[in-house]
Amino acid sequence: MNKKKKIILVSEKQWHLSLYDNLKKSLSQFDILLINKKDDFCFEKLIKINPYKIFLPHWSYIISEEIYSKFECVVFHMTDLPFGRGGSPLQNLIANGFQTTMLSALMVQKGIDSGPIYLKKKLKLNGSAKQIFNRSAKIVEKMIVEIIEKDIIPKPQLGEAVIFKRRTPEESNICQLDDLDKIYDYIRMLDCEGYPNAFIETEKMRYEFYDAKLRNNKIDAKVRIFRK
């Protein structure tokens, strides 16, 4: 009896648990495994598993050359590559006024987000960061299934690269913003686990904003207040 080939999904994010469950159903001819801890994504453990492919829908850590030179690793980047290589793609897109983007599936190679592309799918950028990531997870599922079922061969990126700089927590400070649309965008693009909420500070207190709604020329949002 032939053993099933193994496919690994690597993510620490809660919103990818349903992706994992769905892939087990959609790709039942494979043994789908989940790695959700950084320390478990290491060469020694991967050698024992010997995966057919590794998919990383949202991974902020460096992938060692030892891993990607041995195993086919596919990451998903929220820009129309080679535009938007680098850090904080969602936040950089929204901060620059983008309402839609392309979700790019690419092979991991040396260089930041520079590997060949399997395919791209359109992604809308309305709503909170959490809503966008949940939306992207459903698209990632379809992309993974398509990559596997069609055995897609990735093609080199075409065009001039535009590099995004990873945003710092200090850039979440909205005290200097004077445009309601801009303030709303800052609050929503940072409204997700693992991201520093938009905030303002006084001498002694910090105010963090989330769950924002923009309507009738005003913003309704929840605020978390604590002493610095």
Residue range 28-36: average pLDDT? 97
For the chain, domains (ranges, CATH) are 6-164 (3.40.50.170), 169-227 (3.10.25.20)
Residue range 132-145: average pLDDT? 97
Give per-residue pLDDT as tens, 148-173. Answer: 999 999 999 999 999 999 999 999 99
β-sheet bridge partners, residue 164: 86
Q: Is 152 helix (H, G, I), strand (E, B) or coil?
A: coil
In our burial notation (b when 16+ CB lie closer than 10 A, e otherwise), range 158-172 reads eeeeeebeebeeebb
Q: Please check whether residue 57 is in contact with residue 9, taking contact to mean a CB–CB distance below 8 angstroms.
A: yes
Q: How confident is the model at residue 1 (pLDDT cuts 50, 70, 90)?
A: low
Give per-residue pLDDT as tens, 72-122. Answer: 999 999 999 999 999 999 999 999 999 999 999 999 999 999 999 999 999
Task: Judge whether residue 2 has pLDDT over 80.
Answer: no
Give per-residue pLDDT as tens, 171-212. Answer: 999 999 999 999 999 999 999 988 999 999 999 999 999 999
- Alpha-carbon span 135 to 129, nearest angstrom: 10
Q: Please check whether residue 192 is in contact with residue 129, taking contact to mean a CB–CB distance below 8 angstroms.
A: yes
